[in-house]
Homo-oligomer: A and B are copies of this chain.
Amino acid sequence: MVNGIERPLDVLNNSKGKEVLVYLRGGKQFVGTLLAFDIHINLVLDNTKEMHDNEMKRSLGVTFIRGTEVLFISPASTALKDE
């Protein structure tokens, strides 16, 4: 299930091409397909949607997110189900 996660960035590598929830420091939440990341946790999401109370607030397309603002990253399938 969570095989092969030796270092934290492994989980981001496993998430490439999958839909993730990205939660930022100020409380913003984005859902999108993870296209790329780097060691600073800078991210690029495709089909990015800014979320508010589990509803889409606006569609943002291919979006660059600066890593130092990221609080946590979860699989969208799990994170959006139970909120």
A59-B78 contact, Cβ under 8 Å, with A25-B69, A64-B11: yes
Of B1, B8, B9, B37, the contact of A8 (CB 8 Å cutoff): B37
Judged by a CB distance under 8 angstroms, whether A51 is at the interface is: no
Contact with B along A25-37 (1 / 0, CB 8 A): 1101010000111
Q: Are A60 and B74 neighbours in the complex by a CB distance under 8 Å? A: yes
Q: Are A75 and B59 neighbours in the complex by a CB distance under 8 Å? A: no
A37 to B26: give the CA distance in the assembly, Å. Answer: 24
- Enumerate chain A interface residues (CB-CB to B < 8 A): 1-2, 5-12, 21, 24-26, 28, 30, 35-38, 41-44, 46, 48, 57-75, 77-79, 81-83
